[in-house]
Amino acid sequence: AELDFTARYILDELGIEVEEPEADRLDKLIQKFGLVFPPTRVLSELARASLPQVSAADDPDAALMAWIDMEEQLFRRLERHVVADRIKNGFHSDEGTDVDGFMGFSKSVQNRRKKRAGLALEHHLEAVFSAHKVRFDREGETENRNKPDFLFPGQEEYRNPAFPAARLTMLGSKSTLKDRWRQVLSEAERITPKHLLTLEPGISENQTDEMRAKQLQLVLPQSLHSTYRESQRGWLMTLGNFVELVKERQQTE
């Protein structure tokens, strides 16, 4: 059976590999890369191009999840080929089996997965905002050289004391949170509340209560809201909600 993003996330956390149901199609899409990982932006663009029926303008939440899921499949399929080739060649040294080499390779695989996931999310959010024609800067600089992932309408307005703070918006982007959500609290002193988008399902009530207390609004694609408790859902924002908020603030400029 096909798995949705939430199921894939849980299986990945448990260390369970998932076989892709459309392996042949995925192989055709990535064959031009050979055994080399392309820049993350290139893979993100390929994921979106392979789903021409998906429209961020019509449904930003569904589009984001479809793009993320497709890119995840493309990346894992390419990774499978790269890892298989490396294992086939073996891990050898003058002293025999190169255990350190194997451990280092394994660690690099995990690090690549984590780094790519965060960048992919930012690339696809950028495509959503562009589809809705809202103005933004990616990593615009605020105080103390902080760089929020997305700043609306942009760095120039943020640095202009005459520009109303009520029309400024910031969005942090983290594919998974753990305890890292506190990092965004100091990224834009002029903006309250701050917004943070994540793909992590089922965050505890203790964590979301603390976010609310610190005036940090959590944003999740609509399909992930069902993984939260009923008492949390009324407070959560969808990506569509967030886009409409930004549009409203920019229309009053």
What is the predicted pLDDT for the residue at 179?
A: 75
Q: Beta strands 96-97 and 137-138: pairing type? A: unpaired
Residue, of 21 and 154, whose pLDDT is higher: 154
Q: Is 228 a catalytic residue?
A: no
Closest CA to 202 of 224, 234, 231: 224
pLDDT tens-digit readout, 170-201 = 999 999 887 789 999 999 999 999 999 999 99
Pick the CATH number of 137-251 from 3.50.50.60, 3.40.91.80, 3.40.50.850, 3.90.850.10: 3.40.91.80
What is the predicted pLDDT for the residue at 8?
A: 67
Beta carbons of 49 and 56 less than 8 angstroms apart:
no
Residue, of 14 and 206, whose pLDDT is higher: 206
What is the predicted pLDDT for the residue at 85?
A: 81
Q: Mean pLDDT across the chain, nearest whole number? A: 89
Residues carrying CATH 3.40.91.80, the chain: 137-251
Angle formed by the axes of helices 40-49 and 99-131, nearest 10° = 50
The answer to whether residue 217 scores a pLDDT higher than 50 is yes
- The residue from 129, 158, 181, 242 that is catalytic is 158
Cα radius of gyration rounded to whole Å, the chain: 20
Confidence of residue 109 (pLDDT cuts 50, 70, 90): confident
Confidence of residue 82 (pLDDT cuts 50, 70, 90): confident
Residue, of 11 and 207, whose pLDDT is higher: 207
Query: What length does the chain have?
Result: 253
The answer to whether residue 1 scores a pLDDT higher than 60 is no
Q: Which two tokens stand for residue 66?
A: 């479809």
pLDDT tens-digit readout, 117-145 = 899 999 999 999 999 999 999 999 999 99
